[in-house]
Amino acid sequence: MSWTTILLVGLVALLVLIPTRRLQLAGWKRESLTTYYLAVWLLGSVVAAMPAPARFLVPFLIVAYIAPFVTVRDGIDRLLGRPPRPRPGPDPVDGPDEHRPMKDVTPPEPRER
């Protein structure tokens, strides 16, 4: 294997991490993420290493890469002017379904003597 091929395969591996992270934030299971990552990485590596099948594989690769960024439900809500939905999962600060009262951080007014 040439150094160019190794660099291209490594670059493909790094690029596939971007949509994989998006799917992780969307709540996908680890097994599904691994399958997605390996499938897209394999397709991209084949296209990078051998240009012959690129004509047939590039459309699949483009759809698989862009699909995690397309959210139909959020897009329709945005067009109709609806507010964004809260993300599922626990709040990292307050914990699940736990609301603390707002803290007053206004500085006290200076006292007259």
Residue 40 CB neighbour total at 10 angstroms: 22
Q: Distances from the Cα of 17 to the Cαs of 11, 60, 68, in angstroms?
A: 10, 17, 12
> Residue 109: CB partners within 8 Å, gap ≥ 6?
none
Q: For 73-92, write each residue's pLDDT tens digit.
A: 666 777 777 776 666 655 55
Task: Give the model's confidence band at 110: pLDDT under 50 very low, under 70 low, under 90 confident, else very high.
Answer: confident
Q: For 10-56, write each residue's pLDDT tens digit.
A: 998 999 999 999 888 878 899 999 999 999 999 888 888 887 888 88
CA dist., res. 108 & res. 112, Å (int): 12
The answer, yes or no, to whether residue 94 has pLDDT greater than 60, is: no
CA dist., res. 38 & res. 108, Å (int): 58
CA dist., res. 26 & res. 93, Å (int): 19
